[in-house]
Amino acid sequence: MNKRRLAICDKDRDYLTMLQAYLSKKNPAGFEVVVYESVRQAVLDSKEERFEILLVGEGIYDTDVINVEAQKVFILQEDGLAGITGYSVVPKYQSMERLIRQVLDAFALDEECTTVPSKGQTPTRLVSFYAPDRHRGQCVAALAAAQVLTELGHKVLYISMQPFSGFEELLGVKYDSDMTDFMYFVLNHSDKLAYKLEGIKRTIHGVDYLPPALDYSDLVHITQEEWRQCFDVLLYSGNYSDIVVDLTECCDGFYSFLERSDAVYLLSGRDAFSKAMYAQFEQLMKLKELDTVVEKSVRFDLPAGWEGAALDLGQLSISPLGAYMKGILGQNGQQ
């Protein structure tokens, strides 16, 4: 069977209800979530259909856990494990998001754990944003568009290829790993994409995003074929309806991304230098016989005062900039 089952076994009913509600809402990796108030119940049910992951509360643990059919078992640590050994451990009392991230990342990294990759019925739309004049508002425009799409009911993954995104400073966060770690993992373990994605992704105003690369040279060293392989997996995984790419020439697959995109949004200033750079971009596309890139593109500039909206990256879609980007997206029928 292709069904993924995540089981939770704990005697704390309030905790079970809270964790099940979180998982049902977030639906990480497409799991069917089942809960039990005794290890014996979990043992019996797992004989019918194996669990991929089992979370067992320290307070309910007994040696019968060894009889549960599960690929990987985690003990939800409460006080000190009381001599429990042989299982992976995660702290029980932490944010649900962090707990699930730790669990799925550990599952993805365990070579003994296997899974069946999911396949979407239709490929995800690839939407690229690019500024030939390296407009510093490109990142904000792309992220605002991603948030607008989310509010319109789309499930969106945002990927920044900017050499210096500044996200850690702007969002006040610290990333343990970034998109290059994710890419190299997926290239070798494409079947576990959903698990690694849940373990590394962050979310801002409903938009999932991969932590941008800390060192842009990591992006430069990824080959065009590796970009293609990784995005093949992402686009056909069924996890998202849209992937919004904040594109730069840092990636070896630059032209391929533009050609492959379902829609391209080209940010270009109104000054003479920006117009000249855009003209050169158009000329280059024709020279490389990529006329379709220009044909499916929407060229735009940001409204005056856009910098004010950029001060809060989590609220871009409800700012004047968000309203403006909704209109830009509408020019390409993305509503």
Q: For 228-232, which contacts have Cβ atoms below 8 Å and span 24 or more sequence positions?
A: 228/253, 228/256, 229/187, 230/183, 230/186, 230/187, 231/126, 231/260
pLDDT at 46 over 70: yes
- Tell me the backbone φ, ψ of residue 156, rounded to 5 degrees: -120, 140
User: Has this prediction a pTM greater than 0.75?
Assistant: yes
More confident residue, 2 or 315: 315
CATH number for the domain whose boundaries are 125-330? 3.40.50.300
Give residue 109's pLDDT. Answer: 86
**Confidence band of 1 (pLDDT split at 50, 70, 90):** very low
DSSP bridge pairs for 68: none
* 198-253 confidence digits (pLDDT tens): 889 999 999 999 999 999 898 888 899 999 999 988 898 878 999 999 999 888 88
Tell me the Cα Rg of the chain: 22
Cα dihedral sign, 325-329-331-335? negative
Q: Share the mean pLDDT of the chain.
A: 89
* 299-325 confidence digits (pLDDT tens): 999 998 898 878 889 999 999 999 999
**Confidence band of 111 (pLDDT split at 50, 70, 90):** confident
Which part of the chain has CATH 3.40.50.10850?
5-109
* 131-182 confidence digits (pLDDT tens): 999 888 999 999 999 999 999 999 999 999 999 999 999 899 999 889 998 9
What is the distance between the alpha carbons of residues 272 and 91, in angstroms, rounded to a whole number?
Answer: 57
How open is the CA angle 139-143-146, to the nearest 5 degrees? 145
pLDDT at 36 over 80: yes
More confident residue, 30 or 274: 274
* 67-109 confidence digits (pLDDT tens): 999 999 999 998 776 678 888 999 998 888 889 889 988 888 8
Give residue 115's pLDDT. Answer: 73
More confident residue, 118 or 290: 290
> CATH fold of 5-109, please?
Rossmann fold (3.40.50)
* 318-335 confidence digits (pLDDT tens): 999 999 999 999 887 666
